[in-house]
Amino acid sequence: MNKAWTPDSWRNLPIMQQPQYDDSSVLSSVLSDISKLPPLVFVGEVETLKSKIASAARGDSFILQGGDCAEKFEDCSASVITAKLKILLQMSVVLCYGAKKPIVRIGRIAGQYAKPRSNDTEVVDGVEIPVYRGDIINSYEASQEKRKPDPKRIKQAYLLASATLNYIRALTKGGFADLHNPQNWELEFVSKAPKKDEYQKIVSNIQDAINFMESLGTREDSLHSVEFYTSHEGLLLPMEEALTKYEPAYDAWYNQGAHMLWIGDRTRALDGAHIEYFRGIANPVGLKIGPSANPRDIVATVKALNPNNEAGKVTLIGRFGHDKVKQHLPKFVEAIQQESLNVLWSSDPMHGNASKTESGIKTRDFDSIQSELKDSFAIHKSLGSFLGGIHFELTGEDVTECIGGTAGITADQLELKYETFCDPRLNYSQSLEMALLVSEMLASQK
């Protein structure tokens, strides 16, 4: 592990979850093409995000990370990007109210195109075909031919990520932040919520605070433009390597395809290729930990990723499940405390809470998601630690993929608007409602 690192040193180690390309010369030429294109992000922004994560790890701010499970190429459109940004921005305003701290927004966006999968193949209409691995690798269309990994998709992914990010930058700098104002929110669901009075109070307090600040003339600055960062799972290492550049000004290597990247629960083997790649880049890195992890390995992995114990570098994202979080989370918190490792603790209440309906549809239950978050806050508090971030799969559209919430989506309704290519996401009102609930959890932390 302590051998010299290079952007391609991961190539000597065992690697999980990669596609097998038929034609390696097409792959090489695509990688060479994208490595010559301008970076998607600037290293100064990456360092700023790292310092913001360090501030969240000190308890001075809070991280909201969210977006699609699998971003689709066809969703690179003004309306879909706007809807995703809108819900994340609105959630951040609600959380800011409860936390009384700045909220740092990080999208699973502009590059969240590669998916780890449980099986290599699936049977569709009696035929066994390769599984869908994300738009950067193959097509969702279920045929032998379309599911073949196509390296040219990597270049398309790069160009679509760049168009997505370009539009995000336009929106966040050009006045889109006006959506801070609850007047622009879709709040019909609040009036139907069992906790209607609490929700209404939060929303009207936010409205008052914004009106007050605007009356003081602060409109031009913080209320009018917002910071927003990008992230994706760093799964497809040939692509990540191609976007990794040395920055003399910082004397460090950066992945310039996203501000932050995370390592999935399935690719975090200590002696594997992913940890080798990630230990060499200066970007902030997330590490997902689920029930199969053990504290000794996670401590060793955090040390490998962050040998200088730099603040802001590592975010540990627990994703245990509502029924397992109490059993697993405490031992990780204690192990990290014992070694005095600098990490930010975040919770992904989505990936441990997957279930299937009787008719076989993948879903997640709003109450289980809420319950894992509640327990995570409480466990940290009881151990003298704290939860400094949350990580969701969500969308700004009115899809029907997760069950529950005031929207009252039932198992029978899932098929009405089930659009995800991978895991089920919270829809607009479920996301906003979850933010209201987390806002209360944050307020009661103090």
Contacts (CB under 6 A) with ligand PEP, residues 330-349: 348
Nearer to ligand PEP, 109 or 171 (CB): 109
**Mask 401-430, x = binds Co ion (CB under 5 A)?**
----------------------x-------
Name beta bridge partners: 130: 121
Contact 321, 287 (CB under 8 A): no
Q: Please provide the distance, in angstroms rounded to a whole number, between the alpha carbons at the two ends of the chain.
A: 41
**Which value, in Å, is the radius of gyration of the alpha carbons in the chain?**
21
Instruction: Verify binding: residue 264, ligand PEP, rule CB under 6 A.
Output: yes
Q: Which of residues 97-116 bind ligand PEP (CB under 6 A)?
A: 116
Nearest-angstrom CA–CA distance, 244 and 8 = 10
Cβ of residue 233: shortest distance to ligand PEP, in angstroms?
Answer: 6
Q: What does 279 interact with, of ligand PEP, Co ion, none (CB < 5 to 8 A by kind)? A: none
Supply the minimum distance, in Å, between the C-beta of residue 317 and ligand PEP.
Answer: 7
Least distance (Å) between residue 198 CB and Co ion: 30
Count other Cβ atoms within 10 Å, centred on residue 214: 14
Nearer to ligand PEP, 348 or 365 (CB): 348
As given in the structure block, the two tokens for residue 222 are: 């913080």
Tell the smallest beta-carbon distance from residue 420 to Co ion (Å): 9
Q: Which of ligand PEP, Co ion, none binds 265 (CB below 5-8 Å, type-dependent)? A: ligand PEP
Place of tokens 């099986």: 119
- Which among 425, 322, 433 has a CA at the least distance from the CA of 414? 425
Do 193 and 144 form a contact (C-beta atoms < 8 A)? no
- Residues from 113 through 132 that contact ligand PEP (CB under 6 A): 116
Give least dist CB 34 to ligand PEP, A: 23
User: Under rule CB under 6 A, how many of the chain's residues touch ligand PEP?
Assistant: 10
Select from 62-70, 143-151, 276-284, 428-436 the region that touches Co ion (CB under 5 A): 62-70
Q: How far is the CB of 70 from ligand PEP (least distance, A)?
A: 7
Length of the chain: 446
Q: Interaction with ligand PEP in 283-322: which residues (CB under 6 A)? A: 288, 319
Q: Two tokens at 181? A: 């104002």
d(CA 100, CA 223): 16
Tokens representing residue 261 in the block: 């990247």
Taking the least distance from each CB to Co ion, the nearer of 423 and 440 is: 423
C-alpha of 262 from chain center? 8
**Cβ proximity of 353 and 324 under 8 Å:** no
Position among 53, 69, 157, 235 found at the interface with Co ion (CB under 5 A): 69
Considering CB distances under 5 to 8 angstroms, the limit depending on partner class, which of Co ion, ligand PEP, none binds residue 116? ligand PEP
Contact between 49 and ligand PEP per CB under 6 A:
no
Residues 57-86 that bind ligand PEP (CB under 6 A): 69
Closest of 147, 159, 136 to residue 239, by C-alpha: 136
CA distance 28 to 242: 10
- From ligand PEP, Co ion, none, interface partner of 405 (C-beta below 5 to 8 A by class): none
- Rounded to whole angstroms, the Cα distance separating 386 from 403 reads 28
Minimum distance of Co ion from residue 351's CB (angstroms): 6
CB of 173 to ligand PEP, least distance (A): 28
Amino acid type, 433: E
Interaction between residue 265 and ligand PEP (CB under 6 A): yes
**Residue of 52, 86, 313, 351 interacting with ligand PEP (CB under 6 A):** 351
DSSP 306-324: -TT--TTSEEEEE---TTT
Residue 104 Cβ, how far from ligand PEP at the closest point, in Å?
Answer: 18
Rounded to 5 degrees, φ, ψ at 422 are: -140, -105
DSSP 39: P
Q: Closest separation between CB of residue 425 and Co ion, Å?
A: 9
Q: Which residue is nearest to ligand PEP (CB)?
A: 264
Task: Enumerate residues 101-130 that contact Co ion by CB under 5 A.
Answer: none
What DSSP string runs through 387-438? --EEEEEB-SS----SBBTTTTB-GGGGGGG---SSS--B-HHHHHHHHHHH
Buried b (16+ CB within 10 A) or exposed e, 343-363: bbbbbbbbbbbeeeeeeebeb
Interface residues toward Co ion, by CB under 5 A: 69, 423
Interface residues toward ligand PEP, by CB under 6 A: 69, 116, 233, 264-266, 288, 319, 348, 351
